[in-house]
Amino acid sequence: MNSSTIYKPTSQHPSSLFPQITKCKNMRHLTQVHAHFIKTSQIHDPLAAAEILRFCSLSDFRDLDYACKVFNQIREPNCFSYNTLIRAFSEGNDDEALRALLLFHQLVFDRFVLPNKYTFPSVLKACAKRGRLLEGKQVHGLIVKFGFAYDEFVVSNLVRMYVMCGEMDDAHLLFYENVVEFGNGGKLLRDKRRREGNVVLWNVMIDGYVRIGNFTSSRDLFDKMPQRSVVSWNAMISGYAQHGKFMEAIEMFHEMQIGDVHPNYVTLVSVLPAIARLGALELGKWVHLYAEKNEIEIDDVLGSALIDMYSKCGSIEKAVQVFETIPKLNTITWSAMIGGFAMHGQAKDALDCFARMEKTGVKPSDVVYIGILSACSHAGLVEEGRFFFNHMVNVVGIEPRIEHYGCMVDLLGRAGLLEEAEELILNMPFQPDDVIWKALLGACKMHGNIEMGKRVAKVLMDLAPNDSGAYVGLSNMYASSGNWEGVAEVRLKMKEMDIRKDPGCSWIELDGVIHEFLVEDDSHPKGKEIRLMLEEISEKLKLSGYRPKTTPVLLNMEEEQKESTLHFHSEKIAIAFGLISTSPGATLRIVKNLRMCEDCHSSIKLISKIYKRGIIVRDRKRFHHFENGWCSCMDYW
């Protein structure tokens, strides 16, 4: 939630009285006006001094050292001057927040000045900054002492302070004291005597519960609140999205769409990542259109979110379109675009984009390099990858993170440079994690290096004993070299340790609604039709000469259980549903949580040909664009 919803200007500014100050465009101008004021003694006018102070404290050109000097020159600073400087410091970093508290202390002991209700929000903000609960509680005491305990504005900020310090119990107590009372039967009654429907206070509480991931309480408050503002909706939507509850975020957004509170800029920025993760292209397009229709500015932030959404929903063309219309590109926008190209295997475009970025003088961030390195990795550009990695470290001076090493291991591993990849892992300046070892294990399987594979699997099993990854990888490796004894041994071990594989799950979006399918799922209202369609697909696949892989099916083990006639992988169920629910020729877009198995991959190629449909599947690794019997990954994923 945006704190500006609580923040209100300290008071009305008499700036119109001093056009010379209003016109200042930097601190140099201001010092000239200041000097002039001193020369003409105009500085002794308290309003003039206050305006000078306001400019160097709160304008875009603020200079807090200068502000302190001005403040110290004021003979008898009033509450307004204190408030100005306290507010300026409270908005700064941690050290500055501390100075805000010291100034407040000075104010309390200044016998000519009393704090007013505009003093406390800044002071509370300064307390919240680093969770200074003790100071916050003392300020709470002073709020009571100075008679602001019933001021709606002060109380919202007080509750917010408790929320930010993680003291939900105290926040809750204060909230209930101020907003609601329980009637006799435990029924919730609104306290009409006091601030009925103080939306801000409710929002602060909702935001607090969302922050700590307590969605039961936040949802409960959200449902009970007498009146919801756009901030209430945004707090819930962004909270769900940030905590990985993408489906809930989108449901909430749908609920909002039919209500009378309209989504704003923050809503769109909050919901887009959830849409991207679920690959809900139609909904994403709706958001884009909504922004355009309602003249919500598509700036670098919203634009980057749209680019990311379009790339992750499989529409790289639309991502490029958005990219080209953003007036000011920042490093996040560039990395969204480069990451998008990488995800779609368009390495050349990613590299071109990077070159363009360098030309515009935007400094590449570490995230940009992750995009570039993974683009190189997808396209097997070993030399380029090495070059960019070294360039990043030695020229740009970015400390590589484990993700960068991960990309390099992937790149070297795919190219068969297994020793080099292993050496890189062992020489990293930090502990390798399971992700990076899994990348190497995958490469060992790809290149049939059983010796190294066993070694890596052993490390992985020690590192993450309950993760199926190492077992699956090892078993796959044995299977591909025909070592069925090895496969059986691994399977037995998995059974002994009760290690389960992640359940497969796929999504497809139709008319903005996301349909989720699990393996063997027939819970869908159209379950019967889907089942019939799956049978039809199997029949047509057989007629076109397709034979499911008959290599020792029982022992070979992918990430998922093998398919059978009674057991379809979730992406096939989603495709069957898509085929019966869309008009002929429409492209189907599916998102799958695991890596697609080889069997599904080859049958979807045929389905795209038989049913004349473009099918786009985003699996855990990358995008597959299926068209007329082919896949964009060229069977390499």
Q: Would you say 170 or 560 has its CB closer to Zn ion?
A: 560
Q: Note whether 625 binds Zn ion by CB under 5 A.
A: no
Place of tokens 């001057």: 81
Q: Residue 625 Cβ, how far from Zn ion at the closest point, in Å?
A: 8
Tokens standing for residue 183: 């009637």
Pick from 568, 623, 576: which is nearest to 600 by CA?
568
Contacts with Zn ion: how many residues (CB under 5 A)?
6
Question: CA 372, CA 389: separation in Å to the nearest integer?
Answer: 9
The stretch among 85-93, 165-173, 540-548, 591-599 that binds Zn ion (CB under 5 A) is 591-599
Q: Which stretch binds Zn ion (CB under 5 A): 179-187, 234-242, 299-307, 589-597?
A: 589-597
Q: Which of 172, 569, 592, 613 binds Zn ion (CB under 5 A)?
A: 569
**Is there binding between residue 633 and Zn ion (CB under 5 A)?**
yes
Span from 137-145, 201-209, 229-237, 600-608 in contact with Zn ion (CB under 5 A): 600-608
Q: Are 219 and 236 in contact (CB under 8 A)?
A: yes
In the complex, residue closest to Zn ion by CB:
600
Our finding on whether 100 is near Zn ion (CB under 5 A) is no
Of all helices (H) and strands (E), which one includes residue 384? helix 382-390
Select 40 or 564, whichever has its Cβ closest to Zn ion: 564
Whichever of 358 and 635 has its CB closer to Zn ion, that residue is: 635
Binding of residue 618 to Zn ion (CB under 5 A)? no
Binding of residue 272 to Zn ion (CB under 5 A): no
Scanning 150-158, 184-192, 390-398, 594-602 for contacts with Zn ion by CB under 5 A, the matching segment is 594-602
Distances in Å between the Cα of 162 and the Cα atoms of 5, 134, 201, 208, 236 are 17, 10, 12, 9, 19
Q: Which residue, 268 or 600, has its beta carbon nearer to Zn ion?
A: 600
Contact partners, residue 48, CB within 8 Å, separation at least 6: 18, 37, 42
- What's the CA gap between 345 and 377, in Å, rounded? 9
Count CA atoms closer than 13 A to 307's CA, side-chain side: 28
CB of 315 to Zn ion, least distance (A): 17
Tell me the H-state helices in 297-417. 300-312, 316-325, 331-343, 347-360, 366-379, 382-390, 402-414
Alpha helices in 447-588 (DSSP H): 450-463, 468-480, 484-496, 527-543, 570-581
Verify binding: residue 617, Zn ion, rule CB under 5 A: no
CB of 476 to Zn ion, least distance (A): 14
CB atoms within 10 A of CB 325: 9
Output 457 or 631, the one with its CB closest to Zn ion. Answer: 631
Please say which residue, 103 or 600, places its beta carbon nearer to Zn ion: 600
Angle between helices 199-211 and 168-179 (to 10 degrees): 160
Closest to Zn ion by CB, 514 vs 604, is: 604
Contact region for Zn ion (CB under 5 A) — 102-110, 468-476, 490-498, 566-574? 566-574
Residue choice 597, 604, 615, 616 for contact with Zn ion (CB under 5 A): 597
d(CA 298, CA 326) in angstroms, rounded, equals: 7
Does 631 bind Zn ion (CB under 5 A)? Our answer is yes
Comparing CB distances to Zn ion, the nearer of 68 and 600 is: 600
Stretch that binds Zn ion, among 174-182, 206-214, 389-397, 564-572 (CB under 5 A): 564-572
Residue choice 600, 604, 607, 616 for contact with Zn ion (CB under 5 A): 600
Q: Which stretch binds Zn ion (CB under 5 A): 33-41, 160-168, 365-373, 621-629?
A: 621-629
- Residue 200, both tokens: 């801000």
Q: Are 407 and 377 in contact (CB under 8 A)?
A: yes
> If binding is defined by CB under 5 A, does position 378 make contact with Zn ion?
no
Where does residue 54 rank: exposed (0-12), middle (13-18), buried (19+ CB within 10 A)?
buried
3-state secondary structure of 508: strand
Report, in Å, the least distance between residue 601 CB and Zn ion: 6
Q: Which two tokens stand for residue 43?
A: 């500085």
H or E element, residue 346: none
Compose the 169-198 pattern: x for residues touching Zn ion by CB under 5 A, - for all others: ------------------------------
The least CB distance from residue 311 to Zn ion, in Å, is: 17
Angle at which helices 94-108 and 119-129 pack, to 10 degrees? 140
Could you tell me which stretch among 157-165, 205-213, 332-340, 623-631 binds Zn ion (CB under 5 A)? 623-631
Query: Given the structure tokens 């019939």, which residue do they identify?
Result: 532
Residue 616 beta carbon to Zn ion: minimum distance, rounded to whole angstroms: 10
Alpha carbon distance 59, 91 (integer Å): 12
Of the candidates 291, 295, 300, the one whose C-alpha atom is nearest the C-alpha of residue 271 is: 291
Q: Does 494 bind Zn ion (CB under 5 A)?
A: no
For the bound state, the minimum distance from the C-beta of residue 559 to Zn ion, rounded and expressed in Å, comes to 9
Residues forming contacts to Zn ion in the complex (CB under 5 A) are 569, 597, 600, 624, 631, 633
